[in-house]
């Protein structure tokens, strides 16, 4: 029985950082299982588990959010959102550990279980339930449309009541399906945590070795899994479920808690680096392979198709770094700034934008951008209707295949020394654009690293002829010799030259002795005033509250409720040679397959090419020409910004009318 579930971050050795995972604590089995997401839990794509019998919980007095579990000669590291959440997990884990350490009757209970129907019948009913769930979701969506179009207040009230009740039913159905999936995977998990029964080995049986985890499943294997196990490709790649699974199960199950904790994939191992363990499941030895193990090094990227490369970016994009990671901070929430905005709305957007760019509690080293590297993408903004039935594409915009109701984004590495990244975002129908550039200076601060973010962003609200100039806070990597974590610090400004409104924002670093992390304060001022009319306090990755000069208070931003919108990128095969994903595809693929040698070689080839091009320009006295941005004064501006295009259009119309 799952007595507790929810998100935690875990430390991984290969990526050297914290990663978001969805954890489920099973009190009956004495297992802490984890998944890459809640959706993967529903589908049964378990990544691994920690056996809690005989485990020891550890906490760090200097850190109020992390804890460890030591078991099977390994130490696993976890991080909760805050102290309260950590305490809830620790109490639940301690109760489960105590129960299973002093009780040996659990195995007998599992052995007495019987299955009255086949797994095939169970899956069929589960699929039906999921289909009905989707129908219910679609009907509620249609109901929302009807409510919006309803002219009568009485009818609108009635429909709203029906919708609220339907949402209640929807949540109940969702929860039921999740519980059914957990029940199924407890008794017959796809990754073999329990052994349901013993059967003689067959020639077609798959023996799971660590080197198989270093390769992507080929097309024939994927098709076989889809046909026999009725699961999709990404689940098949993760779980390596035996494709020759028996159609029916015997009535008596022999469910066994694994002798040792395990992880389905080497790069998901989050125990201490000096631990070495061999996992035994059903008398099959699964040896944990080192990340350096030379497995098919020279063919690691040769078997991948263009769609395979695109798929690499679909799962856990936060592990990858390049220009797209830098641009997501500003562009992701630009769409939330509405027409007629004022300084208050700009500040609300600005403070929430840092949360959107924060994928984990520790920064991961990005790829060093190549001079001239470009990244383009767009977002489909919810609840924004197209002008007509046929969406009009913006062929002259930064993303020509996007429409007027899309939020588009482009970034370019415009300089190597200093390493300046310029980026631009726009929403045509809203009449909003953002031009920005940023580069960094780093220095060591004892046990920390300080990163000064130099540059600024300019938001243009064309329909109101306003622009807002923003600066960026500094970043700090703390406790670099222990468990590293990041924070923002320093003073930033937001001001509107046209109206005179401005704001001062202070990102507070954590004091050496005690104090909270990620605190922020902001003061908003009217033109010519020395006393602020609004004060904002709180945590930039949590809840921020506003207090007006009248004494009225309200929740200013709750970043936990802000939806995440997934960016859309052109398929790799259609990208230009200088676009980010195409440039770094071999490095990305090798890292995903944990082939460090191949990744290093591919990275060296890119950097060597850049050195040769720089040498050629120097010898021939040539100047590097940027692709999409040019320096104007101290700012880098996009060549074909929305403001420039509208002005050119107006000039053409004016010229035509004169004739």
Mean pLDDT over 115-139 rounds to 73
pLDDT digits (tens, 9 = 90+) for 4-30: 899 998 887 655 678 889 999 988 888
In angstroms, what CA-CA distances link 431 with 390, 465, 487? 20, 10, 33
Given a contact cutoff of 8 angstroms between Cβ atoms, the answer to whether 374 and 399 are in contact is: no
Q: Kindly provide the b/e burial profile for residues 197-221, where b requires at least 16 CB atoms within 10 angstroms of the residue's own CB.
A: eeeeeeeeeeebebeebbebbeeee
Write down the pLDDT at residue 1: 59
Q: What is the DSSP letter of 367?
A: P
- For 60-130, list the strands marked E by DSSP: 66-71, 74-79
> CA 11, 14, 16, 22 torsion: positive or negative?
negative
Write down the pLDDT at residue 255: 34
Residue 591's SS3 state is helix
**Distance (Å, whole) CA 166 – CA 428:** 36
Given a contact cutoff of 8 angstroms between Cβ atoms, the answer to whether 502 and 494 are in contact is: yes
Q: Give the pLDDT band of residue 109 (cuts 50, 70, 90).
A: very low
**Distance (Å, whole) CA 648 – CA 196:** 71
**Distance (Å, whole) CA 157 – CA 163:** 10
Write down the pLDDT at residue 389: 62
Given a contact cutoff of 8 angstroms between Cβ atoms, the answer to whether 69 and 25 are in contact is: no
Token digits of residue 317: 């994009």
pLDDT digits (tens, 9 = 90+) for 204-255: 333 333 333 333 333 333 333 333 333 333 333 333 333 333 333 333 333 3
Write down the pLDDT at residue 73: 76
- Enter the pTM of the model: 0.52
Write down the pLDDT at residue 150: 86
* 534, β-bridge pairs: 524, 548
pLDDT of 317 over the 70 cut:
no
Q: Among all chains, which residue has been given the structure tokens 């020891």? A: 56
Write down the pLDDT at residue 407: 94
Write down the pLDDT at residue 385: 63
Residue 91's SS3 state is helix
Q: Give the pLDDT band of residue 87 (cuts 50, 70, 90).
A: confident
Q: Give the pLDDT band of residue 555 (cuts 50, 70, 90).
A: very high
Residue 40's SS3 state is helix
pLDDT of 531 over the 60 cut:
yes
pLDDT of 295 over the 60 cut:
no
Given a contact cutoff of 8 angstroms between Cβ atoms, the answer to whether 120 and 248 are in contact is: yes
pLDDT of 487 over the 80 cut:
yes
Mean pLDDT over 198-209 rounds to 38
Q: Give the pLDDT band of residue 366 (cuts 50, 70, 90).
A: low
Phi, psi of 345 (to 5 degrees): -70, -35
Share of the chain above pLDDT 90, in %: 27
Q: Name the packing angle between helices 596-619 and 585-592 (round to 10°).
A: 160
Q: Give the pLDDT band of residue 52 (cuts 50, 70, 90).
A: confident
Given a contact cutoff of 8 angstroms between Cβ atoms, the answer to whether 278 and 210 are in contact is: no
pLDDT of 530 over the 70 cut:
yes
pLDDT of 298 over the 50 cut:
no
Write down the pLDDT at residue 322: 38
H-run or E-run covering 452:
strand 448-461
Q: Give the pLDDT band of residue 199 (cuts 50, 70, 90).
A: very low
Given a contact cutoff of 8 angstroms between Cβ atoms, the answer to whether 343 and 524 are in contact is: yes
**Distance (Å, whole) CA 581 – CA 156:** 48
Mean pLDDT over 608-621 rounds to 92
Token digits of residue 483: 């468990």
Q: Which of 77-81, 339-343, 461-465, 636-640 has the lowest mean pLDDT?
A: 339-343
Mean pLDDT over 533-562 rounds to 92
Higher pLDDT, 552 or 271: 552
pLDDT digits (tens, 9 = 90+) for 133-181: 878 888 888 888 888 888 888 888 888 889 888 888 887 887 777 677 6
pLDDT digits (tens, 9 = 90+) for 274-288: 333 333 323 333 332
Q: Give the pLDDT band of residue 599 (cuts 50, 70, 90).
A: confident
pLDDT of 546 over the 80 cut:
yes
pLDDT of 63 over the 80 cut:
no
Total Cβ atoms within 10 A of residue 574:
11
Q: Give the pLDDT band of residue 2 (cuts 50, 70, 90).
A: low
CA-based nearest residue to 644, from 494, 450, 336, 433: 433
Write down the pLDDT at residue 508: 93
CA-based nearest residue to 630, from 457, 419, 414, 420: 414
Write down the pLDDT at residue 626: 94
Higher pLDDT, 550 or 357: 550
pLDDT digits (tens, 9 = 90+) for 398-434: 999 999 989 999 999 999 888 899 999 999 999 999 9
Residues 6+ apart with CB under 8 A from 383: none
Write down the pLDDT at residue 252: 36
Write down the pLDDT at residue 613: 92
Write down the pLDDT at residue 615: 92
Q: What is the DSSP letter of 482?
A: S
Phi, psi of 487 (to 5 degrees): -150, 160
**Distance (Å, whole) CA 282 – CA 278:** 13
Token digits of residue 258: 């694994």
Q: Among all chains, which residue has been given the structure tokens 């976890």? A: 78
Given a contact cutoff of 8 angstroms between Cβ atoms, the answer to whether 55 and 74 are in contact is: no
Round the average pLDDT of the chain to a whole number and report it.
73
DSSP string computed for 334-366: GGGSPTT--HHHHHHHHHHHHHHT--SSS--PP
Write down the pLDDT at residue 184: 64
């Amino acid at each position: 029985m799952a007595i507790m579930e929810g998100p935690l971050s875990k430390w991984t050795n290969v990526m050297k950082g914290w990663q978001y995972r969805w954890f489920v604590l099973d009190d009956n089995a004495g297992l802490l299982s984890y998944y890459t997401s809640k959706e993967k839990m529903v589908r049964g794509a378990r990544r691994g588990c920690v056996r809690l019998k005989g485990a020891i919980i550890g906490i760090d007095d200097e850190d109020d959010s992390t804890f460890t579990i030591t078991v099977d000669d390994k130490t696993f590291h976890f991080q909760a959102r805050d102290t309260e959440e950590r305490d809830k997990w620790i109490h639940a884990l301690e109760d489960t550990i105590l129960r299973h350490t002093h009780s040996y009757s659990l195995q007998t209970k599992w052995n007495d279980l019987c299955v009255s129907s086949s797994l095939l019948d169970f899956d069929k009913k589960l699929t039906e339930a999921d289909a009905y769930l989707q129908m219910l979701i679609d009907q509620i969506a249609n109901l929302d449309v009807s409510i919006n179009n309803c002219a009568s207040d009485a009818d609108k009230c009635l429909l709203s009541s029906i919708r609220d009740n339907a949402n209640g039913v929807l949540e109940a159905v969702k929860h039921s399906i999740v519980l059914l999936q957990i029940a199924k995977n407890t008794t017959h998990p796809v990754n073999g945590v329990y052994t349901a029964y013993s059967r003689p080995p067959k020639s077609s049986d798959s023996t799971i070795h660590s080197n198989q985890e270093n390769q992507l499943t080929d097309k024939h294997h994927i098709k076989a899994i889809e046909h026999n196990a009725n699961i999709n490709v990404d689940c098949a790649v993760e779980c390596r479920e035996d494709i020759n699974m028996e159609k029916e199960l015997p009535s008596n199950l022999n469910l066994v808690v694994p002798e040792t904790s395990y992880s389905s994939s080497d790069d998901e191992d989050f125990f201490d680096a000096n631990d070495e363990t061999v996992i035994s499941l059903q008398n099959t030895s699964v040896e944990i392979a080192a990340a350096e193990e030379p497995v098919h090094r020279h063919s690691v990227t040769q078997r991948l198709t263009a769609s395979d490369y695109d798929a690499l970016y679909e799962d856990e994009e936060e592990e990858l770094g390049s220009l797209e990671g830098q641009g997501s901070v500003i562009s992701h929430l630009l769409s939330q700034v509405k027409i007629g905005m004022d300084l208050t709305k700009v500040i609300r957007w600005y403070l929430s934008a840092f949360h959107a760019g924060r994928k984990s509690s520790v920064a991961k080293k990005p790829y060093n951008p190549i001079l001239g590297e470009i990244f383009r993408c767009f977002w489909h903004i919810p609840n924004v209707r197209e002008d007509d039935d046929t969406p009009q594409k913006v062929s002259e915009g930064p993303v020509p295949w996007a429409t007027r109701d899309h939020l588009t984004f482009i970034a370019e590495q415009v300089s190597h020394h200093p390493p300046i990244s310029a980026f631009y975002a726009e929403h045509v129908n809203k009449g909003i654009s953002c031009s920005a550039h940023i580069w960094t200076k780093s220095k060591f601060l004892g046990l920390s690293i300080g990163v000064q973010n130099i540059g600024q962003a300019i938001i243009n609200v064309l329909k109101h002829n306003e622009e807002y100039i923003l600066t960026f806070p500094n970043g700090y990597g703390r406790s670099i010799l222990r468990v590293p974590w990041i924070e923002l610090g320093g003073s930033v400004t937001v001001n509107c030259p046209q109206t005179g409104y401005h704001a001062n924002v202070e990102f507070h670093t954590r004091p050496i002795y005690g104090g909270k992390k990620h605190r922020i304060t902001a003061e908003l001022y009217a033109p010519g005033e020395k006393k602020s009319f609004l004060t904002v306090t709180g945590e930039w990755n949590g809840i921020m509250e506003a207090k007006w000069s009248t004494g009225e208070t309200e929740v200013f931003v709750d970043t936990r409720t802000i939806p995440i919108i997934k960016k859309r990128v052109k398929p790799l095969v259609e990208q230009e040679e200088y676009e980010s994903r195409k440039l770094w595809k071999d490095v990305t693929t090798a890292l995903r397959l944990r082939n460090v040698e191949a990744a290093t070689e591919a990275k060296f080839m890119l950097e060597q090419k850049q050195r040769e091009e720089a040498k050629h320009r120097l010898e021939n006295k040539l100047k590097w020409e940027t692709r999409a941005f040019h320096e104007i004064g101290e700012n880098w501006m996009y060549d074909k910004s929305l403001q420039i295009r509208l002005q050119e259009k107006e000039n053409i119309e004016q010229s035509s009318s004169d004739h």
